[in-house]
Amino acid sequence: MSRESGRGDGQWYPPEWPERIRALANGELTPVTPRRAATVLLLGDTADGPTVHMLRRRASMAFAAGAYAYPGGSVDPRDERPVGWAGPSPAVWAERLGTDGEAAQAIVCAAVRETFEEAGVLLAGDSAETVVADTTGADWEADRAALVARDLSFAELLARRGLVVRSDLLSCWARWITPEFERRRYDTWFFVAALPRGQRTRNASTEADRTVWIRPAEAAAGYDRGELLMMPPTIATLREVASYGSAAEVLAAAAGRDLAPVLARAELRGGEIVLSWPGHEEFTQHIASGAGS
């Protein structure tokens, strides 16, 4: 996707933004209601510190084409169906996520489901003390494909295999809401989780043309050089987890994180558009009034 921000980094910046920002400011654009979504920073440990699993979205994607991101996606209404559950209850998660219990369950289930759909990793087990050891067989792939096609709900998959969601393997790190001027909007909770022992990732997503395990600081450096394209929440979370020495340290730190949603602001000041993300000054854009017109 092209960028016209004049910056040297890899910040995702669609060329239609200025026109849509002006339309919003002039009352000519009605913001789309954001869809609930979940994404997961899947972490592994090395001698040099944690690595994170990332995928590059295909150039043909309608949203964030070419950008590096984490496994994730929208909440499926069927994620609200009753499932086997271990770890903090939906009520506990509701307090943490700022939702009701039904929504909290759906968000957590979406995080687990999307990680399985896009990375082949399943944060579930047959009891509160176990985790699935291997998800690479043909039968698992058939179930994963059925989930993607929406021929099988996540609740049905778990029930069929006698599994429970291991909600204790997840911690919530941040919450970002897509700007009001975007065509597609998501209210996204960013989770962190360690790769379960015995499981391995694979590029299982039809939405990605590449996947990598990469140290957060290395990925951030690639963004700074303009080599890796990313949306603001992706690079922000990478910078935040880069200072920790292990996946366990990241998960422990998540408990004290502020989950107040981050939402971009667009203001017209002195003939230019100023686009900012509160608390994340590095993403501020100053756009000439005629840009994108």
pLDDT tens digits along 230-283: 999 999 999 999 999 999 999 999 999 999 999 998 888 877 888 899 999 999
- The list of the chain residues with pLDDT below 70 reads 1-8, 58-65, 204-208, 289-293
pLDDT at 13: 73
Beta-bridge partners for 190: 39, 174
Q: Positive or negative CA dihedral for 277, 281, 108, 65?
A: positive
3-state SS class at 285: strand
**How far apart are the C-alpha atoms of 71 and 84, rounded to whole Å?**
22
**How far apart are the C-alpha atoms of 121 and 199, rounded to whole Å?**
6
C-beta atoms surrounding 24 within 10 Å: 17
Beta-bridge partners for 266: 275
**How far apart are the C-alpha atoms of 116 and 121, rounded to whole Å?**
5
Domains of the chain: 32-261 (3.90.79.10)
pLDDT at 285: 85
| Closest C-alpha to 264, from 272, 256, 276, 255 | 276
- Crossing angle between the packed helical segments 138-148 and 101-119, to the nearest 10 degrees: 130
pLDDT at 58: 63
